[in-house]
A and B are shown apart, each in its own frame.
Chain A
């Protein structure tokens, strides 16, 4: 069964802290994504990765970085958390577009981050 697991369901961090959000998938997918979900704005792409150690900026990368050292794991890093980064963060994975038409993304359960 398809599985994307995010390390935390809820997190509370202080302003200025360095925050790590972890995501693991067990489907051997090439692509992994980090989205942020805010009311009225839908899902916005922060970063994505199409291979180990490869990454591309999404629509709102400012204030974030990512790491993909292994194929199954994709980490989102908030270098210095700020209150405007309070949000729901969703990780997803999918097959490579060249491998198959079945490129729907599968999502984790989300991490609700509050920065105080």
Chain B
């Protein structure tokens, strides 16, 4: 069985602060894929990143960075210098090697205030 845990239900930060969203996963598959999605108030989930289990390189995209550590089964997401537009619910998700379906965590609501 697959499981994704996002222990942080809500995080509130002031603009320009850095914030890290945690994601811990469980799977028996040796090949798997991890994802992060953003859900702004409009409701549509927006794909942010995909990571393969055999590639542990960290990735940076502008103010966003992702830290993938197989040893701790974690795939954490950091926003540097947060902005009000980053306010959203963020979901971490997992797909096993040959499976089609995504298993989602319960999401972390990020509120960035001025």
Interface residues of chain A, those whose CB is within 8 Å of chain B, are 31, 33, 35, 40-45, 48, 50, 58, 88, 90, 92, 94, 96-98, 101-110, 112
Give complex CA distance A5, B77 in Å. Answer: 28
Main secondary structure of the interface of B (DSSP, over half): loop
B101 in contact with A33 (CB, 8 Å): yes
Give complex CA distance A103, B101 in Å. Answer: 10
- Please indicate the chain B residues that have their CB under 8 angstroms from the CB of A108 in the complex: 44
Give complex CA distance A102, B47 in Å. Answer: 12
B47 in contact with A50 (CB, 8 Å): no
List residues 99-114 of chain B with CB under 8 A from any CB of chain A.
99-107
A97 in contact with B105 (CB, 8 Å): no
- The reply on B13 being an interface residue by CB < 8 A is no
A104 in contact with B50 (CB, 8 Å): yes
Please give the distance in Å from B92's CB to the nearest CB on chain A.
9
- Please indicate the chain A residues that have their CB under 8 angstroms from the CB of B103 in the complex: 45
A45 in contact with B47 (CB, 8 Å): no
- The reply on B61 being an interface residue by CB < 8 A is no
- The reply on B43 being an interface residue by CB < 8 A is yes
5 A-B contacts, Cβ less than 8 Å apart?
Answer: A42-B105, A42-B106, A50-B100, A94-B100, A103-B95
Give complex CA distance A31, B99 in Å. Answer: 11
**A97 partner, pick from B6, B44, B100, beta carbons under 8 A:** B100
- Among A96, A102, A105, A110, the one with the most B-chain Cβ atoms within 10 Å of its Cβ is A105
**B43 partner, pick from A40, A41, A45, A109, beta carbons under 8 A:** A109
Give complex CA distance A105, B46 in Å. Answer: 9
**A31 partner, pick from B50, B52, B91, B100, beta carbons under 8 A:** B100
- Please indicate the chain A residues that have their CB under 8 angstroms from the CB of B64 in the complex: none
A105 in contact with B102 (CB, 8 Å): yes
Query: Would A110 and B44 be within 8 Å (CB), given that A42-B107, A104-B35 are in contact?
Result: yes
